[in-house]
Amino acid sequence: MRASLLRLTSHTQRARPRHRKGDAAHHSANVCDRQQRAQHCVMRAENVGKDDDVVLVEDKDDERDGERRRKGGLYDDTNVIDARVKLLSWYDDVKRDLPWRRRGRATQQLAYEDVDAKFEPTTASTSEDADAKVRRLAELWRERAFEHGNDGRVGVMSDDQYAYGVLVSEIMSQQTQIERVAEYWRRWTTRWPTAECLANATQDEVNEEWAGLGYYRRAKYLLEGAKYVRDKLGGKYPRDVEGLLKVPGVGPYTASAVASIAFGTPAAAVDGNVYRVLTRACMIRGDPLKGTAAKEIRAVADAFVDPARAGDFNQAMMELGATTCAPKNPKCQQCPLRAWCKGVEEEERTSGAFKVTELPETAKKAPKREEQRAFVVIRRRRADADEDEFLLQKRPSKGLLAGLWEFPNVLVAEETDEVFSARPSRDLRDAHSSLSTSLIGDASSAVAVDAKRGKIIHVFSHIRQVMHYQLYDLVTVIKQEDKDEKDEKENIIITDDANATSTSTSTQPLKWYPASAFERDAVFSTSVQKLYANIARAGVGTIAHSGAGKRARDAADVNSRAQPSIAAFFAPKSHPSTTTSAVV
């Protein structure tokens, strides 16, 4: 069997990075890389012989190294070291200032302070002390106590609290713009500064704080993960990728990101941004999420990650993909990896016939499911209230928008707009009528006024939903002789119980929400806020007929005619002043 002769010393001297003098971090990376190379020349060899300082290595390893050198770019070890230095230098200069991101160079772990590591569950006797501790822990985030100070001393935040904050930021950043994430992250860590604090929250509280970010399953996983860390791990996060993968809701990318950023573990975090950067830089064809392409991307990423500054390196790759190597209109002239980018090289070689934006070759997404839904918006004004109230229904605990509140609705058809427009209009009217009847029940003492209808479109990740809504203003009729029993009469339509109605046939809880609740930030999902805003824009934001005089006139009008049926109760008035109009 033929073998190649390699001197051990030659392997450690082959690649010397060009870095700035006095740069300890880059020097550390270089030393670490030389050590790795020295080990590489003797690893995985099935037959090794020794003659003084000469090492015999199997041809297959030498051929693999030769193949990498022939490919060039980020496949070549020499280029990898230079590219690391360039990328991290670029990141140090341009990285965005985010509330969870260390502004200096992160090359070591923070000191662990046991005084803040444990947070006992709140009890009645210690609630004041518990609240004070929550405020203190939240203050550590605002003071950026996870950073190294100018005096060289390490921060006072525990490494587990920092890992929690990094995890929250990574979960929030999935499918959400980073600027929006920063706003939510600040509120979140003020309310729940540690995993133990979050573990004491309810799902409703978590959903309320998350509302507006979308993909609500992420919030559920954050809560489940916090409980797992508190109950199974004693409040301490695993330091390695394998351990973090056991935390509910944590996948390979998130585990690698948290391990590297919080604990310095040399693990490559590969997300959509990194897929894009590496497929272009290395001209990797095929679907990046599966098969040979996925394996090649993982191999390149693992070899590329800087062992001395793994956390900064992963954030640099994410930053590069988010700000420079964009899906469309990439800023190739500003890219720190341009000198090693095979995609740019190919674009120049073909005079633009090939475009770097052709990569990655992602699989075509399946078309979104089309839904046509009938929404009922029921509004009332109580005599003892100074604002309108709206009836909302709680969604099931599993599935889309699990556990959130929404306007009651029912699926009419899974059809496109074109197909649905050919249906008889009575299909939608019947759906609204049936749903409203199931909600209100026998409401013979009430009348409907100023009904409005319209539609809006809301797009989820896999659903395009057309929300056909019908608005009903409900006015409770109070006869003059029943003034003393006003409160009881006003509640005859739907009770004010926070979780359910006594007259509804719905299996899901119902609740009246004041109009002001929709004007507060982060209370309802985006689709609910969108529907409410559409109603307000239609000029029907308040009920102008809710005074005592109006109720008396309605009572007199009712006494002059036969008792209305339930169908009449929901039917729009036909006089010109209340003609319905579509709002799209």
Q: Which residues are catalytic?
A: 170
Per DSSP, the three-state class of 511 is: strand
CA separation (Å) from 167 to 128, 135, 210? Answer: 28, 20, 15
Nearest to 531 by CA among 358, 409, 403, 400: 409
Closest C-alpha to 354, from 322, 332, 339: 332
* Half-sphere exposure at residue 401, Cβ-oriented, CA atoms within 13 angstroms: 21
Alpha carbon distance 187, 170 (integer Å): 15
What is 129-141 written as a DSSP string? HHHHHHHHHHHHH
80's tokens: 């990898």
Q: Which run of H or of E encompasses 80?
A: helix 77-94
50-51/54-58 β-pairing? antiparallel
- Going by C-beta distance under 8 Å and a sequence separation of 6 or more, which residues neighbour residue 509? 393, 394, 499, 500
Helix residue ranges, H only, 449-510: 486-490
How far is the C-alpha of 443 from the C-alpha of 502, rounded, in Å? 12
Given a contact cutoff of 8 angstroms between Cβ atoms, the answer to whether 378 and 436 are in contact is yes
452-489: string of b/e by CB count within 10 Å (b at 16+)?
bbbbbebebeeebbbbbbbbbbbbbbbeeeeeeeeeeb
Find out whether 236 and 244 touch, Cβ atoms under 8 Å.
Answer: no
Q: How far apart are CA 566 and CA 437, in angstroms?
A: 7
By the 8 A CB rule, do 215 and 402 touch?
no
